[in-house]
Amino acid sequence: MGTGTGTAAAVACERGAKVTAVDAAPGMVARAALAAPEADVRPAALLRLPFADEQFDAVGGTFVLNHVGQPRDALREMRRVTRPGGWTAVTIWTVPAAPGQALLGRAVQAAGVTRPVHLPALAPEDDFPRIQQGLARCSVRRV
């Protein structure tokens, strides 16, 4: 989920996996399709995945939860499409941000970049501590 440039999708394909990769950004979908031509790459929003329940053996997202306004709902959606006994794996940035990440954030802010109006901001009630224990406590039960 949130395949970005398709690097992870390409590696998974090279290792023999049947890969479906999605991203909400059309430009990333195009880049991922070039990086992983064996994968089924398509546009999709993480909060509304166009897949049946329990469709995949493994679902992963690298830093994608940091880019959605409702990370708890995103985790639930990832779990929804993961078969029983399958794997859902994610990576997240810590909060507060590491020094390099904080520097990048300040540079983006100084450049005057603003959040697109169609992307929701993270509401405090949707947040969770960006540490292993916080992620583990975040509800990912089937809904």
- What confidence tens digit (pLDDT) does each residue in 7-46 have? 999 999 999 999 999 999 999 999 999 999 999 999 999 8
pLDDT of 86? 94
Please name the residue that has the structure tokens 């941000």: 97
pLDDT of 143? 41
Phi-psi region of 135 (alpha: psi -120 to 50; beta: other; left: phi over 0): alpha
How does the average pLDDT of the chain come out, rounded? 86
Query: Of residues 141 and 102, which shows the higher confidence score?
Result: 102
pLDDT of 142? 43
Q: Looking at 30-39, 53-62, 73-82, which range is the least confident one?
A: 73-82
Query: Of residues 2 and 83, which shows the higher confidence score?
Result: 83
Cβ of 121: how many Cβ atoms within 10 Å?
7
Q: Mean pLDDT highest for which of 25-39, 62-76, 94-108, 120-134?
A: 25-39
pTM recorded for the entire structure = 0.76
Residue 121 has pLDDT above 90, yes or no: no
Query: What distance in Å separates the CA atoms of residue 134 and residue 128, rounded to the nearest whole number?
Result: 6
Work out whether the CA dihedral 8, 11, 49, 82 comes out positive or negative: negative
pLDDT of 50? 96
